[in-house]
Amino acid sequence: MTKTNISLKVRDASPKTSIIDIQGEINAYAENALMDAYTMATSQGATNILLNFTDLDYMNSSGIGLLVTLLIRAQRQKHKLAAFGLSDHYRQIFELTRLNEAILIYPDELAALAAGG
């Protein structure tokens, strides 16, 4: 199995909002790390999950698929996903795949937090 080139850090922004800082690559090998980070983010009661893509190096179609899987999981648990720090390239991909209709996109962390996650 190929080594995962992703680092995820979960931090609490408020009692109801957690941020997952993503560094590296989101591809098929990132599934366990991403799902574990989501579980950690929601385990203390957070219902708003912010995905921080500021330090994302690369995401392929498998990575987009993982985000869809994460979105389905969040919706089933009545959680909200939002994102910030997307480059123009990945913002376009979110728009082309219509992910931006389900995962709200903000320009930065402050804007995402001000909007309530």
Cα–Cα distance, 55 to 82 (Å, whole number) = 16
Q: What structural domains and CATH numbers belong to the chain?
A: 6-114 (3.30.750.24)
Extract the tokens encoding 88.
Answer: 């123009």
Q: What tens digit of pLDDT does each residue of 60-78 get?
A: 999 999 999 999 999 999 9
Using alpha carbons only, what angle is made at residue 31 by residues 66 and 56, rounded to the nearest 5 degrees?
70
- What average pLDDT does the structure give for the chain? 94
pLDDT(1) > 80: no
Cα–Cα distance, 117 to 108 (Å, whole number) = 11
Decide: 60 and 27 in contact? Cβ < 8 Å: yes
Cα–Cα distance, 31 to 11 (Å, whole number) = 19
